[in-house]
Amino acid sequence: MADPKKLFIKTYGCQMNVYDSERMAEAMGGSGYEQVKTPEEADLILLNTCHIREKAAEKVYSELGRFKGLKADRPDLKIGVTGCVAQAEGEEIMRRQPLVDLVVGPQAYHRLPEMERQARRGEKVLDTDMPEEDKFEILKSRPKAKRGPTAFLTVQEGCDKFCAFCVVPYTRGAEVSRPVDRILSEARDLVVRGVREITLLGQNVNAYHGAGPDGDVSLARLIWALNEIDGLERIRFTTSHPNDMTDDLIAAHGDCEKLMPYLHLPVQSGSDRILKRMNRSHDRDSYLRLIERIRAARPDILISGDFIVGFPEETDADFEDTMDLIRQVEYGQAFSFKYSPRPGTPAAERAQVDPTVADARLQELQALITRQQRTRQDAMVGQEVGVLFEKPGRRPGQMVGKSDHLHAVHVDDCGASVGELRRVKITESGTNSLGGVLV
């Protein structure tokens, strides 16, 4: 029996890329590959790229440059670029880096095994199509290996919103939702393999409208269907758009016991003028009213958000509107970034904010978010929370897991094992985690 070939995957970006990398590994596993931890061990290297951040493509070229020595020493080594940079710059990657053997976009990675075979025959292979066939259905035969207690599950891809700063509609395509029966089947399989918490993924996940037995099904109805799976203890979803927070989804946060009290709901700016220039299709007041409704349904919910600082034409007054919105919402967590132009998007052609001004604004905003996050964590001391333990901690006997609100929690002299869901009383609040004792 031939020795298995070795596969190294480096993943950039969001949780959906993590999920995609898992599926690529599974696809190549059927062709005799097993994963390794370093590129030096590999027969096939895949870079699963993200195109959201500034100079994403240049970072890929820099990474590829590090493999020149490996390729020179081992001519049979094959190198591939996958994901959103591959979709956006496929032919350019091939032109600039001759060492690349295959380039595949995020909607075509189910074709990887055949592409690898072509590359082994000495061909250069490029596939950035958005095929009609269901890549998830083609790859539905997953290895039955034991899984950790948490898993991502993609239910929706693409976006129809066309925010002025975003490349997702161009790299991932239009919104597509997976059928309900296929999602439930995959979820049940994950639970059999040890998963107790599933995070539903989508570029615009709450726009989910997958086919069900009696017509299209909303995200809320999908969550209620998942709620019926024995052994699945927790459900989360990300990332959401304010315009798609429907009444039934808001109600589910109050009524569905397995849906965790955590919601990532990006607003991007607190300025109506900037929101309009972003093509966000909502304003600050509608967002604030939405937060009020969600908190009325689930008072203990932790709200997370995204902010872009230094968007083209942002003034001091626009920035202060954003700071005021943050003070009103009181976020438990948030992700904030300095605007970076993405070629081909409308905002890239507009007058840019002075980088030093944008840097100063970002630091001020992040300082406020950090204070709010710490306040929320400190308020947890003395409370009891559910913790799903995921791995051993740094000290003997310590276990680390996530709370209902997605806080990292460590417990010393724990006695619990990976995969257990236990009640924990919080006794301390650290910089980015909580400590507690079993109840």
The Cα–Cα gap between 67 and 88 comes to 22
Cα dihedral angle (135, 140, 145, 151), rounded to 10 degrees? 60
| Residues annotated in a binding site | 14, 50, 84, 159, 163, 166
The full set of domains in the chain, from first to last, is 5-127 (3.40.50.12160), 141-378 (3.80.30.20), 384-438 (2.40.50.140)
Q: Please report the beta strands in 168-301, taking only residues with DSSP state E, as ranges in sequence order.
A: 176-177, 197-201, 209-212, 215-218, 234-238, 262-264
Reading the chain (439 residues) residue by residue, the pLDDT tens digits are 567 899 999 998 777 888 888 888 888 988 889 999 999 999 999 999 887 666 667 788 888 999 999 999 998 999 999 988 888 788 888 888 999 999 998 878 888 899 999 999 999 999 877 655 555 555 555 445 567 899 999 999 889 999 999 988 887 788 999 999 999 999 999 999 999 999 999 989 999 999 999 999 999 999 999 999 999 999 999 999 999 999 999 999 999 999 999 999 999 999 999 999 999 999 999 999 999 999 999 999 999 999 999 999 999 999 999 999 999 999 999 999 999 888 889 999 999 999 999 999 999 999 999 999 999 999 999 999 999 999 999 999 999 999 999 999 999 988 899 999 999 999 999 988 999 999 9
Annotated binding site for [4Fe-4S] cluster: 14, 50, 84, 159, 163, 166
Q: Name the nearest CA neighbour of 342 among 104, 203, 175, 162.
A: 162
Contact 84, 167 (CB under 8 A): yes
State the pTM of this model: 0.81
The whole-number pLDDT of residue 418 equals 95
pLDDT score for 142: 47
Terminal-residue alpha carbon distance, the chain = 52
Both tokens assigned to 386 = 């559910």
